[in-house]
């Protein structure tokens, strides 16, 4: 589903003040910490440390049942909404760690831009690279924040170079760090030509820190630090001015230039200047391409799509929360919409929004917002909801699974229950289904982006469908959808180092045990097209 930039001038002020984004990063880069600090600065949390403490509890156990109990937390932290300096911020949570799943990717479909959070010692790491690839395909504007600058990391100029190489997009430093003895003293706002000096709070970043600003001057930096630090900072700034990319606000908002920021989420250094600049430059809610046209956020009729479905806590009721991104119009509690896939009416009674850890009922929402709708199994990923003329959103992309297992039941009499369970859970996006035999009537292979999806699958099959199922790993980790000439397809599918599967639409998928085998196939693939994603 492609996002299309919107012109702010035509928007209702309520829509124009909305900013909807996700943070993408590799585990441990500091996403939880930064999320907390954004909430802290947004006034939605009074003392940082709460989200993190809860997360620690959740991760302290590998028992899925215990995690299920804690599920309330992950639900409530799925979308966080707060106000900041006149903006209405929707921060979409993309879980990292072992929570990693397709949900994480899909959440990006609902975002209008992303913050790319990097560890100052590591630069762009694997998970970030994967998430960035998704953002790039959707042309989402990216804002890069180099975290952990309170401790020694790579040289900032080196990081800038690395980033440009990795992203294949021009990068421009919006803020530049002033370092003394390898510790961050201040950041220079290059556009405004001011310096933010930071004080450490006495409580290790649990509350906001005071920021002192001064106009950018060599003398002032020398006074605060040393002559040598001022010299080096000014040399670096001169280099950025001469050899670096110009800071072009319009290009940033359009996603053609990546602005770079430095700071430390832990100590709050740089968080506030970053947030101010980010919200100023982040795009307004984007228009969305639909079959036969475009939905503009300014369109009067309500439209929205389901991008994520989360099973709820109580397994006795198959009730779930469907997350809906509003793409146009205005929502009021009790609004009756049409569910595009069935053509049936659906009343959206008191859906939920999430403010920090609190769930609140929504009386009103606008294009750009995300609401959580209670669902008794009617909704699916990609469903369109609307009040005016019917819209069909482009498909929400599926993502290549990295784990594949054969699924079976011990008791053959339970097989129909397994099939129902698998079908419904696949519709929710909880797992992807494949067949090893294209003629088979039911799928027997499940694929997942994250291993945890399998734990959830088994748990839910047992508790919601009464089917104790068994998984047996195929030992394959890389998948490619293929097409091409008959001969090429035949050759590709007959090699012994790979496995052939068929997805739900009957498309052929090749599985490889490792990246090497996959690259080998790509190299010798004359007449064959290998795609990372299904068509």
Q: Which residues bind ligand G4P (CB under 6 A)?
A: 25, 27-33, 52, 96, 147-148, 150-151, 264-266
When the beta carbons of 38 and 287 are compared against ligand G4P, the nearer one is: 38
Beta partners for residue 320, in sequence order: 311, 375
| Phi-psi map region of 474: left, alpha, beta (phi>0 left; psi -120 to 50 alpha) | alpha
Lookup: tokens for 137: 């395909």
Q: How far is the CB of 96 from ligand G4P (least distance, A)?
A: 5
When the beta carbons of 270 and 372 are compared against ligand G4P, the nearer one is: 270
Lookup: tokens for 475: 């030992």
| 8 Å CB contact between 222 and 229 | yes
When the beta carbons of 52 and 129 are compared against ligand G4P, the nearer one is: 52
Across 224-235, b (16+ Cβ under 10 Å) vs e yields: bbeeebbebbbe
Q: How far is the CB of 94 from ligand G4P (least distance, A)?
A: 10
Q: How far is the CB of 38 from ligand G4P (least distance, A)?
A: 12
Q: How far is the CB of 146 from ligand G4P (least distance, A)?
A: 10
When the beta carbons of 260 and 501 are compared against ligand G4P, the nearer one is: 260
Distance separating alpha carbons of residues 73 and 80, to the nearest angstrom: 12
Question: What are the distances in angstroms from CA 93 to CA 46, 395, 481, 513?
Answer: 19, 21, 29, 31
Q: How far is the CB of 23 from ligand G4P (least distance, A)?
A: 8
Residue with tokens 């001015």: 241
Residue 310 in 3-state DSSP?
strand
When the beta carbons of 100 and 465 are compared against ligand G4P, the nearer one is: 100
Residue 215 in 3-state DSSP?
strand
Question: What are the distances in angstroms from CA 274 to CA 63, 118, 143, 169?
Answer: 38, 14, 10, 20
Q: How far is the CB of 152 from ligand G4P (least distance, A)?
A: 10
Q: How far is the CB of 113 from ligand G4P (least distance, A)?
A: 19
- Which runs of E-coded beta strand occur in 151-248? 171-173, 175-180, 183-189, 194-198, 211-215
Which value, to the nearest 10 degrees, does the dihedral of the CA atoms of residues 438, 440, 442, 443 take? -40
Q: How far is the CB of 275 from ligand G4P (least distance, A)?
A: 15
When the beta carbons of 196 and 288 are compared against ligand G4P, the nearer one is: 196
Distance separating alpha carbons of residues 223 and 73, to the nearest angstrom: 47
Contacts of 192 (CB under 8 A, 6+ apart): none
Lookup: tokens for 83: 């106000």
Q: How far is the CB of 271 from ligand G4P (least distance, A)?
A: 9
Q: How far is the CB of 170 from ligand G4P (least distance, A)?
A: 26
Residue 237 in 3-state DSSP?
helix
How many Cα atoms are found within 13 Å in the side-chain-facing hemisphere of 125?
16
Lookup: tokens for 274: 């970053």
Q: How far is the CB of 55 from ligand G4P (least distance, A)?
A: 7
When the beta carbons of 266 and 452 are compared against ligand G4P, the nearer one is: 266
When the beta carbons of 38 and 418 are compared against ligand G4P, the nearer one is: 38
When the beta carbons of 264 and 328 are compared against ligand G4P, the nearer one is: 264
Question: What are the distances in angstroms from CA 430 to CA 92, 99, 110, 402, 471?
Answer: 18, 12, 17, 14, 15
| 8 Å CB contact between 528 and 520 | no
């Amino acid at each position: 589903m492609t996002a299309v930039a919107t012109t702010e001038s035509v928007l209702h002020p309520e829509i124009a003040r909305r900013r909807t984004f996700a943070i993408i990063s590799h585990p441990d880069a500091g996403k939880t910490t930064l999320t907390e600090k954004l909430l802290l600065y947004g006034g939605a949390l009074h003392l940082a440390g709460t989200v993190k403490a809860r997360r620690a509890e959740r991760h302290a156990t590998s028992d899925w049942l215990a995690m299920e109990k804690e599920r309330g937390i992950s639900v409530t932290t799925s979308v966080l909404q707060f106000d900041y300096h006149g903006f209405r911020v929707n921060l979409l949570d993309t879980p990292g760690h072992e929570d990693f799943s397709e949900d994480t990717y899909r959440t990006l479909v609902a975002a209008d831009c992303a913050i790319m959070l990097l560890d100052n010692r590591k630069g762009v790491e694997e998970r970030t690279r994967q998430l960035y690839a998704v953002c790039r395909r959707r042309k989402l504007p990216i804002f890069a924040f180099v975290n952990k600058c309170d401790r020694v990391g790579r040289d900032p100029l080196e990081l800038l170079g690395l980033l440009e190489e990795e992203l294949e997009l021009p990068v421009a430093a919006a803020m530049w760090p002033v370092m003394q003895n390898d510790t961050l003293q201040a950041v220079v706002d290059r556009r405004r030509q001011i310096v933010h000096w930071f004080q450490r709070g006495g409580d290790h970043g649990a509350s906001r820190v005071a920021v002192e600003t001064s106009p950018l001057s060599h003398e002032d930096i020398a006074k605060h630090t040393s002559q040598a630090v001022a010299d080096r900072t000014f040399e670096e700034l001169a280099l950025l001015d001469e050899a670096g990319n110009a800071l072009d606000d319009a290009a940033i908002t359009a996603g053609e230039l990546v602005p770079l920021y430095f700071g430390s989420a832990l100590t709050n250094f740089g968080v506030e200047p970053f947030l101010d600049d980010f919200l100023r430059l982040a795009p307004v809610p984007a228009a969305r391409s639909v079959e036969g046209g475009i939905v503009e956020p300014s369109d009067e009729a309500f439209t929205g799509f389901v991008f994520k479905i989360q099973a709820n806590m109580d397994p006795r009721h198959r009730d779930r929360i469907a997350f809906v991104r509003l793409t146009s119009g205005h929502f009021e509690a009790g609004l009756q919409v049409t569910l595009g896939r069935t053509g049936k009416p659906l009343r959206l009674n008191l859906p939920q929004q999430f403010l920090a850890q609190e769930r609140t009922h929504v009386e009103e929402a606008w294009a750009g917002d995300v609401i959580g709708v209670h669902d008794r199994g009617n909704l699916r990923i990609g469903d369109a909801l609307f009040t005016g003329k019917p819209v069909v959103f482009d498909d929400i992309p599926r993502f290549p699974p990295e784990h594949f297992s054969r699924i079976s039941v011990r008791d053959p009499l339970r097989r129909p229950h397994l099939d129902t369970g698998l079908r419904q859970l696949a519709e929710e996006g909880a797992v992807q289904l494949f067949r090893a035999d294209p003629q088979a009537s039911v799928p027997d292979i499940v694929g997942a982006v994250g291993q945890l999806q399998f734990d959830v699958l088994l748990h839910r099959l047992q508790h919601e469908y009464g089917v104790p199922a068994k998984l047996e790993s195929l030992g394959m980790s890389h998948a490619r959808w293929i097409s091409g000439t008959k001969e090429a397809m035949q050759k590709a599918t007959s090699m012994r180092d790979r496995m052939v599967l068929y997805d739900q639409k009957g498309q052929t998928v090749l599985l490889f045990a490792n990246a090497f085998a996959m690259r080998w196939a790509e190299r010798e693939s004359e007449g064959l097209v290998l795609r990372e994603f299904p068509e």
